[in-house]
Amino acid sequence: MIICTSKMEYPLRTQCQRVHKQVMVNGENERVSLLFMKALVSRGSVDAVSQQMASHPQYLESFLRTQHYILHMDGPLPLPYRHYIAIMAAARHHCNYLVYLHSAQFLRVGGDPVWLQGLEAAPPRLRLLDHINKVLAHQPWLTACSHIQALLKAGEQCWSLAELVQAVVILAHCHSLCSFVFGCDTDSDHASLSKSPNGTPPTFCPFDAANGNTNVPQTLATLSEHITRRRSLDSSCDMVCLKERIQKSQEEREKREERLLQTQALQQTDMEEEEDMICFADPTRFITDPDLCYQEFARREEDHFQVFRVQDYSWEDHGFSLVNRLYSDIGHLLDDRFRSVTTLPSMHSPDLKRAIWNYIHCVLGIRYDDYDYGEVNQLLEQDLKLYIKAVACFPDATKTPVCPLSLAPLKPSERIHVNLLIMEARLQAELLYALRAITQYMIA
């Protein structure tokens, strides 16, 4: 009887496990749908980066919360400045996708279209960020107290400390996001995308459901149908009002049509000029010294750069408190991102995740005295190390050395997880260098 009971219990236990797993999957799908719906309400579309991260909804939520805060919520910098700084950062890595995305958002928040002609057309204060932008993007160990001083004491064009901290956070965020975009091959898909009517990158919009896009979650499809029906009703009301006005006065109708034609002609011209401005905004317009790129930190013996030791300046003990004091609440949001990415459920062991994180910091000149770097070579295969270094240090199709970008042994979600680790490790590295320089300026 005992053996028979065990045989009966085993299928039941397996079935319960399957049900539990299905419940978890459904819960994660609902979480992703909710995040996408929030994005639709706030921006009118779900960008390609968010779609890539959707396989890790816990992290996606943390990422979107941080990104929304630094680009749209209260802060010392005007909204057009924030998106223009993002354009400058993305341009360092020739990331067409992010340059286009933030160009559209820059115009949407009232930015001057003339600025999109290039860096020389931007205000002098923004142009002053060019040097620290290229240093943080390619050789962050060069960030020095003198760079901070030059920005804070630039006469009429000087930056406040709070403004500079927000600018640095945006630069580091976008530099590291370029790595994710490059690692997931999002930028190569950008050229094949057609433009949407509202000027946003045509990734996923609420009207895809009405156009037969079967990949739209059902909750979003319902939202889309509701919007479409509402617009149809509104259009019907407009037609009734228009007919009533036509019946009142034929002369008034003719004058109105004439004015409408003139307005449409002007709007069409403005729209075409705006689209051309965005579509053909060459990233090289927003950078100087285009040949500057990453160089091997470990081989630059002639410069004798000191290794950045985490025991002397760490995110937990120094960076977090400083950035949170100068830019309220951002420290908590960034810290949540760092914690989320390292605790994501994955087939990778904690030791492997740690090896990836520490390897990225190592190639950027940051060392942990309590870590055995022999584990990096033991846990990371050569192809994986080449991939990690390329994505972290050369996220630019014009400069990247040959490397196995396909990472065939990994599932798509696992490859994205590796890219998330690369992005967050690079983000923290840039912030550490910048915040240490700010600390040195403050105590000098």
Q: Which residues are catalytic?
A: 95
- Tell me the two tokens of residue 230: 């509402």
Q: SS3 of 130, please?
A: helix
Residue 88 near residue 129, CB atoms below 8 Å: yes
What single-letter amino acid sits at 394? F
Residue 39 near residue 223, CB atoms below 8 Å: no
Residue 223 to residue 83: CA distance in whole angstroms: 29
Residue labelled with tokens 């081989």 = 299
Question: SS in 3 state form for 246-295?
Answer: HHHCHHHHHHHHHHHHHHHHHHHHHHHHHHHHHHCCCHHHHCCCCCCCCC
Count other Cβ atoms within 10 Å, centred on residue 195. Answer: 14
Residue 344 near residue 59, CB atoms below 8 Å: yes
Q: What is the CA radius of gyration of the chain?
A: 25
- Write the DSSP string, 30-97: HHHHHHHHHHHHHHSSB-HHHHHHTTSHHHHHHHHHHHHHHHHSS-SS-HHHHHHHHHHHHHTTT-HH
Residue 329 to residue 343: CA distance in whole angstroms: 22
> What letter would DSSP give residue 400?
P
Q: Return the closest-CA partner of residue 78 out of 159, 199, 24, 152.
A: 159
Residue 85 to residue 133: CA distance in whole angstroms: 9
Give the list of residues 6+ apart from residue 64 with CB closer than 8 angstroms, or none: 35, 38, 39, 50
For residue 297, what are the CA distances in angstroms to 139, 230, 264, 365, 387?
Answer: 8, 59, 57, 6, 18
